[in-house]
Amino acid sequence: MTLCLPSTPASPLAFRPGLGPVCCTSPLSRYSRPRLVQQALDLLACEVLYSDALASPQAVRDYLQVLLADRPHEVFVVVFLDAQHRVLDAVELFRGTLTQTSVYPREVVVEALARHAAAVILAHNHPSGQAEPSLADQALTRTLQSALSLVDVRVLDHFIVTRSSAVSMAERGLV
CATH number for 52: 3.40.140.10
Closest CA relative to residue 167, chosen from 117, 129, 120, 119: 129
Report yes or no on 1 lying in a domain.
no
N-to-C CA span, the chain: 33
Which helix or strand (DSSP H or E) is residue 113 part of? helix 105-114
pTM of the model: 0.74
Domain membership of residue 143 as a residue range: 12-168
Distance of CA 67 to the CA centre of its chain: 8
pLDDT in tens, the chain (175 residues): 333 444 333 333 333 444 443 343 344 445 666 777 777 766 666 665 555 657 788 888 888 988 888 889 999 999 999 998 888 999 999 998 888 889 999 999 999 999 999 999 999 999 988 889 999 999 999 999 999 999 999 999 999 999 999 999 999 999 8
Report yes or no on 24 lying in a domain.
yes
Please give the Cα distance from 109 to 111 (Å, whole number).
5
Tally of domains in the chain: 1
